[in-house]
Structure 1
């Protein structure tokens, strides 16, 4: 799946991908496995608190981000 205009944000002991427009508090949690990989920090750094596009897998435990694009869309960052 591809999520556009999301921001990685901490959520208690975990992380989630929150809708950048903030409407309704829509967010998807990252899986426990995704939170323990170095790709999480690449995603957070690429975002810098700004919206990014994220491609990943979604399952019953949450999202596993596989790649992200910076807001300008020029650079793809592999997360795995």
Structure 2
């Protein structure tokens, strides 16, 4: 699993209460052990061990939101194919 600064995750309805009812969280920094994040709509910030982030992703409590850059590169590659 690749984790980079700026990655955005959608927070599922079931665990929003643990994240101040924020819709999304964005990775602020990652040092290989701990992930620091910022919650959307200025609802706070925090950190968690990478093992916990991996657990939340496996349980589908967090889902990655594709970045605009990724979406643009997919659109460009489709145009080049046709």
Q: Which has the higher strand share?
A: 1
Which is higher, the Rg of structure 1 or of structure 2?
2
TM tier, smaller: 0.3 to 0.5
Normalising by the residue count of structure 1, what TM-score does the alignment of the two structures yield?
0.33
Normalising by the residue count of structure 2, what TM-score does the alignment of the two structures yield?
0.32
